Copies of this chain bind each other. A is one copy, B any other.
Amino acid sequence: MEIKFVTTGGTIDKAYSKSKGTYNFDIMSPSICSILKNANPNFEHEVVSVAKKDSLDLTEDDRQLIFDSCKRIENKRIIITHGTDTMIETARKLSTLKNKIIVLVGSSQPERFKETDADFNVGCAVGAINVLSSGIYIAMNGRVYRWDECRKLDSGHFVEKQGQNKPL
């Protein structure tokens, strides 16, 4: 198995800038690298960084860049770390890509926090991508959804759209 990881920023990748006193993305390496280091994975993987932004700040150009990166990648399996606010928009943009299994994943607390959902969520995406067939998916809160069958609540939780409960 081979997985290509595409990083785009989002809460999962936020660090803390002591000079500015706020969160930023000035980190040496994306959080996915720490996660994979601890996970000791038995699959080939490569990490490519496409953007470093809050997902609310991603522009149409950024989404085109993510799309182009995914199209260019020859692996069948792609996991995109992404801010949760516009994860579904990016998934829609990618939905014309065929013959690929793409899972978007993020976290509600930065990976650098002691108490974070980052490792669990990425694990979830990786576990699912072992089994899923082609399509664009979102892995959040321990659930794996087809991108067009879920929505994000104000609380931050992802849930299925009403009436959408069929197994993947």
Contact = CB atoms under 8 A, between A and B. Distances in A.
Q: How many copies does the complex hold?
A: 4
Contacts of A123: 119-127, 142
Interface in A95-109: 108-109
Contacts of A131: 128, 131-132, 144, 167-168
Size class of A's contact patch? Answer: 35 or more
Interface in A112-151: 112-117, 119-132, 139-144
A18 interface: yes
A11 interface: yes
A130 B130 contact: no
A38 interface: yes
